[in-house]
A and B are shown apart, each in its own frame.
Chain A
């Protein structure tokens, strides 16, 4: 780490420290009663306490399950459709207008319909996560695979690869950086959406814990799930970046 990076890091910590100091300052000055704004120390102490609590962990596990179920569906559907749209003109002519209509639609508005058709349980939440996460992956796969150099495919075809095999072995592999970028965006989106879905209707999960705390005016417990989901998002993002770096070793570094 160079001196410049260290300096930049120090500058970056400054605003975070300022926010925390301001928070502590407001609490200490007594402008806001602890019922409205608990002290940062109290919130973090509660967070540490909850991490050892089996009930809290169970709720977190339910949230994680819904998150990954939805994300996996989105990844499979998104990559398949994106690849198919690049590989076949007929598929493209169907997928393109559908994406044009469905992508800007706020998926959360479909949530009541999902509840009505799939029930109040896991299925409707997983469906919402999948619906929100699928478009970044689909678009990234599509744009990535469409930009693959045709020469690579021609060479593989000349060497005797079938068109279908070339699509998977050459086009998808060459577009991997773009595909993984789409997946990373979708992972964060999944994190956010699963929490919101649990807030809107649920009887378990981190989002539900927040709503329950809000109903009971337990302010400290409102902050804990919110901070947990953010830490979860940051951790998943970092883990995915590490995975991406490992998968893409050998690819030229992109800006």
Chain B
């Protein structure tokens, strides 16, 4: 077992294979029309990935996700850092954030659609909202934990407030911010899929429920595999990037969890 798990990437691969095998066995054992065997769903994968319309739909979803995510990062990280460094800013934002925290962000979709229409703007805004909270929270925690001595030294050497925030607080809080970004990435994907399921106009979530309505169960399951793979790839890809960017810090949480 030890030699096996020492090969990087092998355990998740085995786990995936195990899950697919369990699915195949369950489908054969129960034999219900709502659960086609795994191989039929897998056979459907190339059809979806080569179909121009679904591919455009998926790419569209990813583009919206990227824009919403990038905007959230530019907004949330500075807010979180300022909250961590100033008691006043923290006291100002904390109650508001606490109230917003249990609101299902994707559930705002129908209201936002009333104002901004069904286009890209509403979906991007919902993703922005979903990603902002974890990034603010982790930047706040990271900035709060910065060693005061470093800031005093910098101030004594004549560094201004803004420069201290950018050149000392930001790098010191970076490992924690990165944890927030990772949670935010997973959340961006969840919010994207959920909002598309609720709005049902375009995107991956729409493909899912269209196929469900038309009883194309293979397509339903194949799309689920695509979304799952997307989540895994984003998470692993980011973990690689993190190890490169903040190699000096150990990750606080090995696996990101979150929900829209």
- A residues engaging B (CB < 8 A)? 7-9, 11-16, 19, 32, 36-37, 93, 96-113, 115-117, 132, 135-136, 139, 185, 188-189, 191-193, 195-196, 199-200, 207, 210-211, 214, 219, 222-223, 226, 229-230, 232-234, 237
- B residues engaging A (CB < 8 A)? 1, 5, 11-12, 14-16, 18-19, 32, 34-35, 87-88, 91-96, 98-99, 101-104, 106-108, 110-111, 114-115, 186, 189-190, 193-194, 197-198, 208-209, 211-212, 217, 220-221, 223-224, 227-228, 231-232, 234-235, 253-260
Closest B residue to A214 by CB, please name it. Answer: B110
Inter-subunit contact A104/B35 (CB<8 Å): no
Inter-subunit contact A237/B102 (CB<8 Å): yes
User: Known: A116-B212, A210-B110. Is A108-B260 also a contact (CB below 8 A)?
Assistant: yes
Inter-subunit contact B212/A230 (CB<8 Å): no
User: Known: A101-B232, A109-B224, A111-B197. Is A13-B108 also a contact (CB below 8 A)?
Assistant: no
Complex: how many Å from CA A214 to CA B111?
Answer: 8
Inter-subunit contact A195/B107 (CB<8 Å): yes
Closest B residue to A10 by CB, please name it. Answer: B91
CB distance from A244 to the nearest CB of B (A): 17
Inter-subunit contact A230/B99 (CB<8 Å): yes
The one of B110, B198, B256 in contact with A104, judged by C-beta atoms closer than 8 angstroms, is B256
Complex: how many Å from CA A36 to CA B116?
Answer: 11
CB distance from A25 to the nearest CB of B (A): 16
The one of B114, B220, B253 in contact with A113, judged by C-beta atoms closer than 8 angstroms, is B220
Complex: how many Å from CA A101 to CA B258?
Answer: 15
Q: Which of B19, B95, B102, B106: most chain A CB closer than 10 A? A: B102
The one of A93, A111, A207 in contact with B107, judged by C-beta atoms closer than 8 angstroms, is A207
User: Known: A15-B92, A117-B35. Is A112-B220 also a contact (CB below 8 A)?
Assistant: yes
| B19 CB contacts on chain A under 8 angstroms | 98, 101-102
Closest B residue to A217 by CB, please name it. Answer: B114
Inter-subunit contact A139/B255 (CB<8 Å): yes
The one of B114, B212, B255, B259 in contact with A100, judged by C-beta atoms closer than 8 angstroms, is B255
User: Known: A104-B235, A108-B193, A109-B193. Is A12-B95 also a contact (CB below 8 A)?
Assistant: yes
A–B pairs, 20, beta carbons within 8 Å: A9-B95, A12-B91, A12-B96, A13-B95, A15-B92, A36-B114, A93-B11, A98-B15, A101-B12, A101-B16, A104-B186, A109-B223, A192-B104, A196-B260, A200-B197, A200-B198, A211-B198, A230-B103, A233-B101, A234-B98
Closest B residue to A227 by CB, please name it. Answer: B103
| B15 CB contacts on chain A under 8 angstroms | 97-98, 100-101
Q: Which of A36, A97, A99: most chain B CB closer than 10 A? A: A97
Given A19-B96, A36-B114, A219-B114, 8 new contacts (CB under 8 A): A105-B227, A106-B189, A106-B194, A110-B224, A135-B255, A200-B198, A210-B107, A222-B111
Complex: how many Å from CA A93 to CA B14?
Answer: 11
Inter-subunit contact A112/B110 (CB<8 Å): no
Complex: how many Å from CA A115 to CA B208?
Answer: 12
Complex: how many Å from CA A217 to CA B186?
Answer: 32
Closest A residue to B113 by CB, please name it. Answer: A214
Inter-subunit contact A100/B103 (CB<8 Å): no
Inter-subunit contact B231/A106 (CB<8 Å): yes
| A219 CB contacts on chain B under 8 angstroms | 111, 114
Complex: how many Å from CA A213 to CA B260?
Answer: 21
Closest B residue to A99 by CB, please name it. Answer: B255
| B256 CB contacts on chain A under 8 angstroms | 103-104
Q: Which of A113, A207, A211: most chain B CB closer than 10 A? A: A113
Complex: how many Å from CA A15 to CA B106?
Answer: 23
| A110 CB contacts on chain B under 8 angstroms | 224
| B209 CB contacts on chain A under 8 angstroms | 112, 200
| B260 CB contacts on chain A under 8 angstroms | 108, 192, 196
The one of B101, B198, B217, B235 in contact with A188, judged by C-beta atoms closer than 8 angstroms, is B101
The one of B88, B198, B224, B235 in contact with A112, judged by C-beta atoms closer than 8 angstroms, is B224
Inter-subunit contact B88/A11 (CB<8 Å): yes
User: Known: A99-B255, A139-B255, A211-B110. Is A229-B103 also a contact (CB below 8 A)?
Assistant: yes
